[in-house]
Amino acid sequence: MRIAFVAMSGVRVRDAELMARGLTLPGFVERSQVIASLPSLGLLTLAGMTPEHHEMVYLEAPDQAAADAISTDFDLMAISSFSAQIDEGYALADRVRASGCTVVMGGPHVSVCTDEAAAHCDAVIIGEGEMSWPQVLADAERGAVQPRYGQLGTSFDLRQAPMPRHSLLDPERYNRLTVQTSRGCPHRCEFCAATPLMSPGYRQKPMDLVLAEIDAIQNLWSHPFLEFADDNSCVDRRYWKNLCRAMIPRRLRWFTEADLSVAEDEELLALMAESGCAQILIGLESPEAGALGGIELRGDWKRRRHDRYLAAIERVQSYGISVNGCFILGLDGHTPAIFDQVYHFVQDSDLTEVQVTLMTAFPGTPLYRRLYDSDRLLDATAWDRCTLFDINYQPSHMSVAELRSGFHELVSRLYSPEASAARKTRFRALRRSRRRSARLAS
Ligand code: B12
C-alpha cells in the first residue's frame, strides 16, 4: 500500500493580538520556532512498525493551506492531531476519504472524542497506537478496516517498543528530534492531557532500546539536539543515572520535562550535566501556593512542594542545566495580581527560561469535566482554542478580559528583548562561575 503519515503540526494561537504581539518578542518567536520544528514521534513510531513492502511518506500540515495541498493519491492515510488542529484534521480526512483513500485517525483528541472523529474517518484508533496498528494495516490491505480499534485505560508494553522510522524525515528540515524513554506520570494533575489521559501507570522503556534510537538518530544527524518526549522524565533515578552514563560518550545535547524532585539528587544532576543536558522544563504552575491546592489529584503533590521551588531552581542551574519554569495563568484562585506575582517570581528565582500558558480544559481531562459540570466552559467544543494560549472558560476570580489583557502584558514583559537577554546573561555568568570553581576544585 501507499501510506501517508500526516501530522497536523505547527504552533497554534487563535488570539490574533497575542500572536501579533508574540511575533515582536524574540523570546516568544525563538520558543515557537523550536516548538514547531519537532516531528510527530507518534507517527514515526507507527511507521517503524509498518512492514517495508509498503511505500511510506511522512507529511506535516502546519496550517490549513498545507493541509489543502496534501495529495489524495494514497491507499491509506494515517492522521495524527492534538485538539488544537483537530478541525483542520477532520477537513483533511473528509477530503481525502471522498477521493477513495482509507483514512484512519489517532492521538489524544480522537481517543477521547471518538464519536465525533468517527464521522470523519474510516477508523478511529483509541489510545497508544502500537497495540492496534498491525491489525489496522492487515484490515486496510484487505479493504476492511473496522470503525474503531483500541480502548482507553490499556497500556502498551514498552519492552516491545518499535524503532521509530526517522529515515522518513528530511534531515535538512529537522535538527531537534524526540526520543521517549517512558510513558505516564506518578502524579495526576487535573489539567494534564498527555499520556495519563489515555493510559494508566508509569512505564519505562528498556535502556538498550532508547540507546538504539539515539544511535539511529546520530547515524542520520551528526549533531542532533534531543528532546525527550516523556510525560515526566527522571522518576526512575537509577535508570536515568545509567542512561546519562551511557550518553556521555555519545556527546549529545538534550532537553526534557521533569517534576521538581529531579533537584533532590545531586549525583543525578551531575550526570545529567556531564551527559549534555542543556535544559529541563519544570511545571511550577503557580508562584503562590494557594492556587496549587487540589491541582494534583492524588496527594496534592504540587502544593506540598511549593516551598522548595527557589532552592530547586538554584540547585539545578548550579550544575549548568538551565531551568524553563512553566506557569499556568488563570488557575482557580488567581486574581489580577497573579501577573505581577509571576513576573517577580521569575526575576527573583534566576529562572533562565520561562513558559507562560493559559489554563486549558482539554477534552477528557478531569478539569474539562469539572468546568463543564459547573457550566464554566465558554464553548464546550471550541477545540481550536485548546492551544494553551487561548481562553475557553470563565476564570474563578477575574473576568475573561482581565485574564486576556493581563496575560498579554505579562508575555510582553517576560519576553521583551531586555528581559530575555538579561536571563541569558545571568545564566551564562552562573555557568562561568561554576566552571571556574570546578577548575579551582580540580
Ligand atoms: C513533543 C510534543 C510536541 C511537539 C511535537 C508534536 C507532535 N506532532 O508530535 C511540538 C513541539 C511540535 C508540539 C506542539 C504542540 N503541542 Co505539544 N506536546 C509534545 C509532548 C511533549 C510529547 C508528545 C509526544 O511526542 N509523545 C510521544 C508519542 C509517541 O505519543 P503520541 O504523540 O501521543 O502518539 C501516540 C498515541 O497518541 C497514538 N497516536 C497518535 N497519533 C496517532 C495517529 C494514528 C493514525 C494512530 C493509529 C495512533 C496515533 O499512538 C502513538 C503511539 O502510541 C506532549 C506532552 C506529553 N508528554 O505527551 C505535548 C502535548 C501533546 N502538546 C500539546 C499541545 C497543546 C501542543 C500545541 C497545540 C501547543 C500550541 N499552541 O501550538 C502544539 C500543537 C502543534 C502540533 N504539532 O500539533 C498538548 C496536547 C493536548 C491535547 N490533548 O490536545 C500536550 C499533551 C501537552 C499539554 N500541555 O497538555 N508538541
**386 C-alpha to center of ligand 1: Å?**
12
| pTM: predicted TM-score of the whole model, two decimal places | 0.95
Are residues 134 and 187 both part of a single domain? no
122, 149 contact by CB (below 8 A) = no
Nearest CA to ligand 1 atom 44: 106
Indicate whether residue 78 lines ligand 1 (CB < 6 A): yes
Nearest CA to ligand 1 atom 58: 194
Nearest CA to ligand 1 atom 9: 40
The C-alpha atoms of residue 376 and residue 394 are separated, in whole angstroms, by 5
Indicate whether residue 256 lines ligand 1 (CB < 6 A): no
Report the domain count for the chain: 2
pLDDT mean over 277-286: 97
Nearest CA to ligand 1 atom 69: 387
Q: What is the pLDDT of residue 432?
A: 83
CA neighbor of 354 nearest in space, from 256, 282, 409, 260? 282
The C-alpha atoms of residue 244 and residue 255 are separated, in whole angstroms, by 12
Are residues 141 and 203 both part of a single domain? no
The C-alpha atoms of residue 321 and residue 62 are separated, in whole angstroms, by 31
Distance linking the first and last C-alpha atoms of the chain: 60
Indicate whether residue 121 lines ligand 1 (CB < 6 A): no
As a whole-number percent, the residues of the chain with pLDDT over 70 amount to: 97
Grid coordinates of 206 = 528498556
- Say what the alpha-carbon torsion angle 274, 275, 276, 277 is, to the nearest 10 degrees: -90
Domain boundary among 98, 131, 149: 149
- Where residue 69 sits, what CATH number does that domain have? 3.40.50.2300
Structural domain harbouring 230? 175-441
Name the band, by pLDDT with cuts 50, 70 and 90, for residue 396. Answer: very high
Q: What is the pLDDT of residue 25?
A: 73
CA neighbor of 190 nearest in space, from 359, 20, 416, 408? 359
- In 142-231, which residue ranges form alpha helices assigned H by DSSP? 207-220
Indicate whether residue 41 lines ligand 1 (CB < 6 A): yes
Are residues 191 and 99 both part of a single domain? no
Q: What is the pLDDT of residue 20?
A: 85
| pLDDT of residue 27 exceeding 70 | no
pLDDT mean over 369-393: 97
Name the band, by pLDDT with cuts 50, 70 and 90, for residue 36. Answer: low
Q: What is the pLDDT of residues 76-91, one digit of tens each?
A: 999 999 999 999 999 9
Indicate whether residue 38 lines ligand 1 (CB < 6 A): yes
The C-alpha atoms of residue 405 and residue 395 are separated, in whole angstroms, by 13
| pLDDT of residue 12 exceeding 70 | yes
| pLDDT of residue 234 exceeding 70 | yes
Q: Lowest-pLDDT range, 14-23, 305-314, 367-376?
A: 14-23
Are residues 143 and 186 both part of a single domain? no
Q: Lowest-pLDDT range, 7-11, 135-139, 151-155, 280-284?
A: 7-11
pLDDT mean over 122-142: 98
| pLDDT of residue 352 exceeding 80 | yes
- Where residue 420 sits, what CATH number does that domain have? 3.80.30.20
419, 413 contact by CB (below 8 A) = yes
| pLDDT of residue 435 exceeding 90 | no
Are residues 112 and 194 both part of a single domain? no
**82 C-alpha to center of ligand 1: Å?**
6
Name the band, by pLDDT with cuts 50, 70 and 90, for residue 440. Answer: confident
Whole-number Cα distances in Å, 399 to 240, 330, 387, 395, 413: 44, 10, 19, 6, 21
Q: Which of 82, 88, 187 to mutate to test the pocket of ligand 1 (most atoms within 8 A of CB)?
A: 82
pLDDT mean over 4-9: 95
